[in-house]
Amino acid sequence: MNLDLFSVKLNAALSLVAADTLVNVLTGAGENTLLALVASVPPVLTALESFNGTLFAPTDAALAATVAAGFNASDLTALANVLEYHAAPGTPFSGVGFTGSAFLTTLQGNPVEAVPVSSGIQIHSAFGTPAANVVKSLPYDGGYIHVIDQTLIPPANIVDVATTANLTSLFSALTTAGLASTVAGLSNVTILAPTNAAFAAIASVAATLTVDQLKIILLTHVVPGIVYSTDVITAKSLSNVATLSSATLDIEFNGTNVLISAADNKSPATVVAADVLADKIVVHVIDTVLLPNLSAPTTTAVYAAPSNVYSSALSMFGGISVAAAVSLIL
Ligand SMILES: *[C@@H]1O[C@H](CO)[C@@H](O)[C@H](O)[C@H]1NC(C)=O
Ligand SMILES: *[C@@H]1O[C@H](CO)[C@@H](O)[C@H](O)[C@H]1NC(C)=O
Ligand SMILES: *[C@@H]1O[C@H](CO)[C@@H](O)[C@H](O)[C@H]1NC(C)=O
Ligand SMILES: *[C@@H]1O[C@H](CO)[C@@H](O)[C@H](O)[C@H]1NC(C)=O
Ligand SMILES: *[C@@H]1O[C@H](CO)[C@@H](O)[C@H](O)[C@H]1NC(C)=O
Ligand SMILES: *[C@@H]1O[C@H](CO)[C@@H](O)[C@H](O)[C@H]1NC(C)=O
The predicted pLDDT at position 296 comes to 82
Counting residues of the chain whose pLDDT is more than 70, the rounded percentage is 84
Q: Is 163 in the pocket of ligand 3 (CB under 6 A)?
A: no
By the 10 Å C-beta count (0-12 exposed, 13-18 middle, 19+ buried), 135 is classed as: middle
Distance in Å from the first CA to the final CA of the chain: 77
**Residue type for position 68:** A
Are the CB atoms for 126 and 50 separated by under 8 Å?
Answer: no
- Candidate of 23, 51, 52 to mutate for ligand 1, largest count of ligand atoms within 8 Å of Cβ: 52
How far apart are the CA of 107 and the centre of ligand 2, in A? 24
Q: Which residue numbers in the chain have pLDDT < 50?
A: 1-17, 300-330
Q: What is the pLDDT of residues 48-57, one digit of tens each?
A: 999 999 999 9
Query: Nearest Cα to 136, choosing from 149, 123, 124?
Result: 149
Is 158-328 a CATH 1.25.40.80 domain?
A: no
Common-topology check for domains 3-148 and 158-328: yes
The predicted pLDDT at position 1 comes to 37
Q: Is 308 in the pocket of ligand 1 (CB under 6 A)?
A: no
Is 3-148 a CATH 2.30.180.10 domain?
A: yes
How far apart are the CA of 136 and the centre of ligand 1, in A? 24
User: Closest residue (by CA) to atom 5 of ligand 6?
Assistant: 296
User: Closest residue (by CA) to atom 7 of ligand 1?
Assistant: 50
Q: Is 265 in the pocket of ligand 5 (CB under 6 A)?
A: no
Give CA–CA dist 63/232, Å, rounded: 35
Give CA–CA dist 195/183, Å, rounded: 17
Residue 47 CA: nearest ligand 1 atom is 13
Q: Domain map of the chain by residue range?
A: 3-148, 158-328
The predicted pLDDT at position 18 comes to 52
